[in-house]
Chains A and B, each alone.
Chain A
């Protein structure tokens, strides 16, 4: 039995990537969306590794997975007025 392991790995990775990128768009909480963006970018990097381009994989991890989501999270935290869920100060009627 000949199993094409590369094809299986590619299908699993692309499933992760598609689900991750859908979650980036759908998610209500912006920081979670940034986390899913990081996962999407890492899976894209691993697909590069599958194509035997090691250098592009490492640069993808270094720049896109390491720096870009952090930049997004900084942007979210610095622009929104309220970033933490605060407990209600008075009891609801």
Chain B
């Protein structure tokens, strides 16, 4: 069993908070030598002084606990957006460029205007292109924020907030390993679905409030599609609950860590994709692609018919938010598929090193989880750049007449396999 790199996010953040408080305390002591009334405040933050006064330790103060929680949430949000979102956009842009037989983005670090080394001999556009997304983000931040005439201004500006905040809410309950999470909820999977289901209202309001026929049609299509494809997803999870008996992501992953059957030296793990739930896995993945508005299901922003769908009238960083957060939803969807069907962060066992008594895993759980999430995302990107867009009547046919009956069939299969003992409940 591989170990997590972050054993407990809250404890790690507590160490960080106490370090920050110590630095602030030294500054306060320095100020107190000039302004004497600050001495009491500085002593309140001083662990040694609190010991002498028999006060509660600093880590047990409600103020410090609140700051620690805020830092933990910030760490997860920065991890999700600044690392995973940018990396996923870079992976997609490079990958579809390769599918189209070209190089894609190639900005190198030498093109930074303040890069201090010799720039004359270095190629500026023969790098890996990772900085291109940051450059695009800076460009969007500089642009003017335009509100269309006759638009409902308050609604127009509140809907990107709705979409972005509900997408970030997913990451409050999404664990990245058995230690790297903010909240361990008993109903974590249900919480993630609740956060997913808030977006259609924001999309519909943004489509209506821009007072443009293209955004209105795009918003209507998006809301109809998201609502329709959330049903098979939830039905598939209901089928999976027959096996897991729990909606806690940590429990679901722990059940998949055992070995199902050994074929010589290779042990097949008991992931739910190898159970009779393979049909549920397919239905869940297809619905998740629709939920992310990726290309076979990107009828809400069909470029040929609607200019850019419901994001047409947004400009500047608001466009960046509603556009970029689609990748964040894709990461969340891939992580959900990984947790439910692909064994989460369980991977082959490697030894752990002991550095000064502290166990350091060679390949930590976070690495396995990221590997699976990125593989699932790359498969999504591969599909979406290889197939044409389906029409709106075909989308409704696929959703209501194919996926929902199949997901009901997965419930029957799950109930039957449990009743006849085909699959031992872990």
Contact = CB atoms under 8 A, between A and B. Distances in A.
B152 A32 contact: yes
Given A73-B204, A73-B205, A74-B220, A67 B194 contact: no
Summarize A's interface: helix, strand, loop or mixed: helix
B201 A66 contact: yes
A2 to B, nearest CB: 13
A84 B216 contact: yes
A70 B187 contact: no
Summarize B's interface: helix, strand, loop or mixed: helix
Interface residues of A, number: 23
B186 A85 contact: no
A61 B197 contact: yes
Contacts of A55: 187, 190
A67 B155 contact: no
B211 A54 contact: no
Interface in B182-229: 185-187, 190-191, 193-194, 197-198, 200-201, 204-205, 208-209, 211-213, 216, 220, 223-224, 227
Contacts of B224: 74
Interface string A77-93: 10000011101000000
Nearest to B185: A54
Given A66-B198, A74-B220, 14 more contacts: A29-B152, A31-B152, A31-B208, A32-B152, A32-B155, A35-B155, A35-B158, A55-B190, A61-B194, A61-B197, A62-B193, A70-B223, A74-B224, A87-B150
8 contacts: A31-B155, A31-B205, A35-B205, A58-B190, A73-B223, A74-B204, A77-B208, A85-B150
Interface of B: 149-150, 152, 155, 158, 185-187, 190-191, 193-194, 197-198, 200-201, 204-205, 208-209, 211-213, 216, 220, 223-224, 227
Minimum-distance CB pairs A-B, first 3:
A66-B197, A61-B194, A62-B194
Interface of A: 29, 31-32, 35, 38, 54-55, 58-59, 61-62, 65-67, 69-70, 73-74, 77, 83-85, 87
